[in-house]
């Protein structure tokens, strides 16, 4: 079973000060471009309406094995810098990111 997002979904949630929104969007744009070039099925970013500090990234993959293959690839140094800048924006850094994985359920 597959959804429009993908057959395996990775969700990252974290907090970023809304005053850093422009910088965040620039970094997420670079991450999105890299992820799509790498071959993710979908990349979306959401902001919580009730809590503008809360950001959710959704990464869709064709399968769990697709996720495994892409995550095993070496991160280029230019992207290491982007992720380091993102870590500085995230309240509490990388340790504060909540990550969940999802698989679609068939509804018949």
Query: pLDDT digit string (tens) for 65-92?
Result: 999 999 999 999 999 999 999 999 999 9
The class that CATH gives domain 8-102 is alpha beta
Write down the pTM of the prediction: 0.91
Query: pLDDT digit string (tens) for 15-25?
Result: 999 999 999 99
Confirm if 55 and 72 have CB atoms less than 8 A apart: no
Closest CA to 40 of 53, 24, 58, 54: 58
What pLDDT is stored for residue 2 in this prediction?
A: 56
Query: pLDDT digit string (tens) for 8-46?
Result: 999 999 999 999 999 999 999 999 999 999 999 999 999
For the cut 60, the answer to whether the pLDDT of residue 1 exceeds it is no
Alpha-carbon distance 29 to 35, whole Å? 10
Domain positions in the chain are: 8-102
């Amino acid at each position: 079973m597959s959804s429009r997002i993908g057959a395996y979904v990775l969700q990252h949630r974290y907090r970023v000060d809304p005053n850093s929104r422009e910088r965040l969007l620039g970094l997420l744009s670079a991450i999105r471009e890299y992820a799509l070039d790498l071959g993710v099925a979908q990349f979306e970013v959401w902001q919580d309406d009730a809590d503008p500090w809360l950001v959710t990234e959704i990464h869709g993959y064709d399968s769990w094995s697709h996720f495994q293959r892409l995550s095993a690839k070496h991160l280029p140094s230019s992207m290491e810098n982007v992720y380091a800048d993102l870590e500085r924006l995230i309240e509490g850094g990388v340790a504060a990111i909540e990550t969940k994985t999802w698989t679609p359920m068939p509804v018949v």
